[in-house]
Amino acid sequence: MTRFEGKTALVTGGAKGIGAATAKRLASEGATVVVADFDESAAQETAQAIGGHAVRCDVTKREDVEAAVDAAASHGSLDLLVTCAGIIRDNLLFKMTEDDWDAVIDTHLKGTFHAARAAQKHMVEQRSGKMVLISSTSALGNRGQTNYSTAKAGLQGMCKTLAIELGPYNVNVNCVAPGFIETAMTRQTAERMGVPFEKFKEAVSEQVPLGRVGQPEDVAGLIAYLCSEDASYVSGQVVYVAGGPRI
């Protein structure tokens, strides 16, 4: 398929996990992909494998994000923005530090704000663009994630507001909210809980109607749809990709 021929995509947090699978999927369908990540060598590895470009970027830093957006736009246009950069700093409220709160809120909320604000300049001028923000089922509440669930719920509000503001300029903004996806992030959760990852996945799978945990490619497929012209009349939506409702 060549749905993204002639399009340029910027994927933050694109070096690993869901971001890397998204970068790969968009590139496989013809997009020129710029992988922006904290982890420069991993970003370069991912970009090289898909014939894309890498840029070191800490999404909490406005200058870094603006430089990444400019680097993407230098390929002729900035058509697609997918904001995957994310971290967790889980703890029950009484043990959660101010640093845990700030790091998570800054990465997810401020990071996405920086990226959306910088990208809209190009997209509004072009009168076209697609943004996909990454929320989570944790937006609905999850023990030990006051910081993360707040950020992920905030992103759903951001998505709807941006869809209202940018719709008149033919820019679609949607949110994808994954459930448990097998990445470094969920491995980190298992480690913190002291549970072997395979056992953790088995336990989670029992709570998922489709009977398995998700893979980054499951999320990338939905993101690619939302970035495509098939979704040209879809905006301001939150789409859950979690193997079914919680049971």
List the one residue from 32, 33, 37, 115 that touches ligand NDP (CB under 6 A).
37
Q: Say whether residue 183 binds ligand NDP (CB under 6 A).
A: yes
Output the smallest distance, CB 140 to ligand NDP, in A.
11
List the one residue from 178, 223, 226, 231 that touches ligand NDP (CB under 6 A).
178
Q: Which of residues 101-130 bind ligand NDP (CB under 6 A)?
A: 107, 111
Q: DSSP string spanning the chain?
A: --TTTT-EEEEETTTSHHHHHHHHHHHHTT-EEEEEES-HHHHHHHHHHHT-EEEE--TTSHHHHHHHHHHHHTTS---EEEE-------B-GGG--HHHHHHHHIIIIIHHHHHHHHHHHHHHHHT-EEEEEE--GGGG--TTBHHHHHHHHHHHHHHHHHHHHHGGGTEEEEEEEE-SB-SHHHHHHHHHHT--HHHHHHHHHTTSTTSS-B-HHHHHHHHHHHHSGGGTT--S-EEEESSSS--
Q: Of the ranges 8-16, 166-174, 223-231, 232-240, which one interacts with ligand NDP (CB under 6 A)?
A: 8-16
Q: Say whether residue 40 binds ligand NDP (CB under 6 A).
A: no
Q: Say whether residue 147 binds ligand NDP (CB under 6 A).
A: no
Q: Which is nearer to ligand NDP, 67 or 124 (CB)?
A: 67
Q: Say whether residue 18 binds ligand NDP (CB under 6 A).
A: yes
Q: Is 148 a catalytic residue?
A: yes
Active site residues: 148
